[in-house]
Amino acid sequence: MTCFSSADESAHYGFSVCMLLEQYRSQLRWEENGVVELGTGDATAIADVVRSLPDLRVRSYDISAPTVATARANIAARGVADRYTVELGDFFDQADSSGGPAVSTVISNPPYIPAPDRDILMPELWGGLHGNDLVLQLLKAGYDNVITAVASYSDPVETVRTAGDLGYRVVNFLAMGLDFGAYSSEPKVRDHIRRICAEGRGWAGEDGYMVAVALLSRDPDVRGDRADQLLTALQV
């Protein structure tokens, strides 16, 4: 198993998380109890965020032992191991059972490649049939505030609809265009993406797609309702 890394996507994710946490600092109140993270990856993006926001504490969870080892090394190299910790295990089993104060904000750049099954070049990147399984599961986990990546070809319409049904609003987001990489260009995956888009479940161009990092909240103190703008921004 290798640790997935994409410089452009990682930079966009880290920058967007930093911007959203800073812009909504007082409303999210993350200085009090920190945030939790679903899926650590190589940790470089969020380690840089933690270094940029001295009051931020992140508790992350990943199911891959090699990924956790890599992440811890990268975190230590950036000098933020005291405020950014990584635990090996299933986020949904452990994040709410730590015995600490309740955390209201979760961040994630979850796997979002859609495919009929996990038999793809890097199975760890599989996000289910429509690519949004982990996002939907995260929304159903009960956190008041969710900062997550939303890919244009991974049924964002259903993601936004489900979020609304669960009481979330799209408070704000940052979107960026990305080229298809090796994993999304795999013929099996590209054909499936074309089917999803043809069914009206997403958008993608010939060579690329859009990814937005969005803040969704069900807290009335966190104002904003930009769901329509998000879906418009994702249309390639």
Which amino acid is it at 62?
D
Q: Looking at the domain that runs over 7-233, which CATH code has it been given? A: 3.40.50.150
**pTM here?**
0.94
- What CA–CA distance (Å, rounded) separates 170 from 151? 15
SS3 readout for 32-63: HHCEEEECCCCCHHHHHHHHHCCCCCEEEEEC
Domain boundaries, the chain: 7-233
> Over pLDDT 70: what percentage of the chain?
94
- State pLDDT tens for residues 176-230: 999 999 999 999 999 999 999 999 999 999 999 999 999 999 999 999 999 999 9
- State pLDDT tens for residues 88-112: 999 998 766 555 458 999 999 999 9
Place of tokens 């090796």: 182
- What CA–CA distance (Å, rounded) separates 126 from 142? 23
Exposed e or buried b for every residue in 116-126, given b needs 16+ CB within 10 A?
Answer: eeeebeeebbb
CA distances from 234 to 79, 110, 160, 188, 204 (A): 36, 17, 12, 23, 9
**Is 78:105 a contact under the CB 8 Å cutoff?**
no
Place of tokens 């997550």: 148
**Is 216:166 a contact under the CB 8 Å cutoff?**
no
- State pLDDT tens for residues 53-69: 999 999 999 999 999 99
The two three-digit tokens of residue 64, written as one number:
């891959």
